[in-house]
Homo-oligomer: A and B are copies of this chain.
Amino acid sequence: MSDRAPASAGRLLVTGCDVLRVPPEGECEILQARDIVVADGVIQDVRPTQDVRPTGTVAHVRPDVIDRSDVIDGRGLLAVPGLINAHTHSPMVLMRGAAEDVTVEGWFNDRVWPMESNLTAADVRTGARLACAEMIRSGVTTFADHYFFPEQIAEAVAETGLRADIAPTYFSSRGQEALESTVRFAEEWHGGAEGRVTVSLGPHAPYTVDDTDLRTLAGHARRLGVRTHIHAAEHLEQTRSSLERRGITPIRVLHETGVLDAGALIAHGCGIVEDDLPLLAGHADTTAVAYCPKVYLKHALSPLTPVRDLLAAGVTVAVGTDGAAGHNTLDVWEALRLVALTQKQAVRDATWMTVSDTLRLALRGGARALGLQDRIGALEPGMRADIVLTDLSGAHCRPLHDPRAALVYSARAGDVRTVVVDGRVLMCDGRLLTVDEPTLLDEADARVARILDTSHGRAVQHYDP
């Protein structure tokens, strides 16, 4: 926990910034020279900027607007909606760079699942906080997490001020008590941290959770009004294996066990086939697919998620990083750039997945994927104030003909200057306000040797989809 007090969550005024507008369809726009007025964590207005004195203090603003407010000088910066990481395993930052140049099977069975058997609640506590620090620095304000010791992640989110949907990872091999504990986590934490934490149930995948457990969890999801976050059809071989072993695709398993009906965030879906599309489309209002292209390339997967077919069928697609043991960063800028690049190539159409469509997929798609489209994903009155101020004045973005293209193809996480979540300032001009980063980095370093030791031969699970 930081020794520095977090900024107030009362009133906030961001003055003189440009604002990225991401409409539900059509071209994104840059609204120039705006003030963003925030009260009680909600955007009240995005209006042409008022006269601002050169010192940065605000003049000619009605006193009731600036009463108790923090004022952020946004001149020269572009405000974008906070980025959304629609699929990750945040504490896996502890294993960043520790599973390189291996097959998918080797990644699971020789590296990651053995390492994960070493993890303690305290490790996850540190890993989740480190992940939050990295995400705040890169302008990610919301993440959909899927991991063990979920209460540690929820505490990290509560403390650092981020927003997250947290799914407790469950394997059937863990037994009934583990299943009940994931349900209790949902009961305790859904709507927690002043509404910034939501919960999804987290059966790992159709190949590690049996149909009975999927049905039970889908029933709990419906009862609790939460969704399920699950890996499915991660690549085409898994779909083929499912067809061979049981005659139906992984997506149909989710359909038949009621998981789709209760609402599902499906990670990856590179193995989604044509027959799956109507099943997903039938639940398009509560079902989404998180696309994490960097890890698919790194794991040499082909084909990639059929994003164009999914969007054409009305299914929401969002962008995620997956865990840092595969993606190496939690950088959604990197991920959304790869959305555009990989999808243009995948469908052999350079005019598709345009700059505007990529930003829309990452922002509005991300919000819908988490069921939060009424709260986040756009800087508009009535939305929660999750605001990222980016500085596109660096040489690598100049001349700045088109800030939208710069966001997709030139900008870097390091261009993020200031981050606001729910109206609270989490980073101000590169300074983290809710994380004691040096102490946290030392804590993480101290845990490394033990976590990386796989000489014991244990694993949390065996991969054999």
Interface residues of A (CB under 8 A from B): 93-98, 100-104, 106-107, 130, 133-134, 137-138, 294, 296-302, 328-331, 340-342, 344-345, 347-352, 354-355, 393-402, 405-406, 409-410, 412-414, 437, 441, 444-445, 447-448, 452
Tell me the minimal C-beta distance from A447 to chain B in angstroms: 8
Question: Chain copies in the assembly?
Answer: 2
Instruction: Give the distance in Å from the alpha carbon of A147 to the alpha carbon of B33 in the complex.
Output: 37
Cα distance A106–B437 in the bound complex, in angstroms: 48
Q: Give chain B nearest CB distance to A88 CB in angstroms.
A: 14
Q: Is the CB of A341 within 8 A of B297?
A: yes
Q: Which residues of B contact A298 (CB under 8 A)?
A: 340-341, 344, 350, 409
A121 to chain B, nearest CB (A): 18
Chain B residues near A396 (CB-CB < 8 A): 134, 137-138, 329-331, 413
Q: Told that A298-B340, A398-B444 touch, could you supply 14 new A-B pairs with CB distance under 8 A?
A: A93-B399, A95-B401, A96-B410, A97-B400, A97-B401, A97-B402, A102-B351, A103-B350, A104-B350, A106-B351, A130-B398, A298-B350, A300-B347, A399-B447
A351 to B448, Cβ gap below 8 A?
no
Asked if residues B348 and A302 are in contact (CB atoms below 8 Å), the reply is: yes
18 CB-based A-B contacts, threshold 8 Å: A93-B399, A95-B401, A96-B401, A96-B405, A100-B354, A101-B351, A103-B350, A103-B351, A107-B350, A134-B395, A294-B341, A299-B344, A300-B345, A300-B347, A398-B444, A399-B441, A399-B447, A399-B448
Residues on B with beta carbons closer than 8 Å to the beta carbon of A412: 412-414
A437 to B394, CA, bound (A): 10
A133 in contact with B395 (CB, 8 Å): yes
Of all chain B residues, which has the CB nearest A104? B350
Q: How far is the CA of A329 from the CA of B329 in the complex (A)?
A: 20
Question: Cα distance A445–B331 when bound, in Å?
Answer: 29
Q: If A137-B395, A396-B413 touch, does A354 touch B300 (CB 8 Å cutoff)?
A: no
Set of chain B residues within 8 Å of A400, measured between Cβ atoms: 97
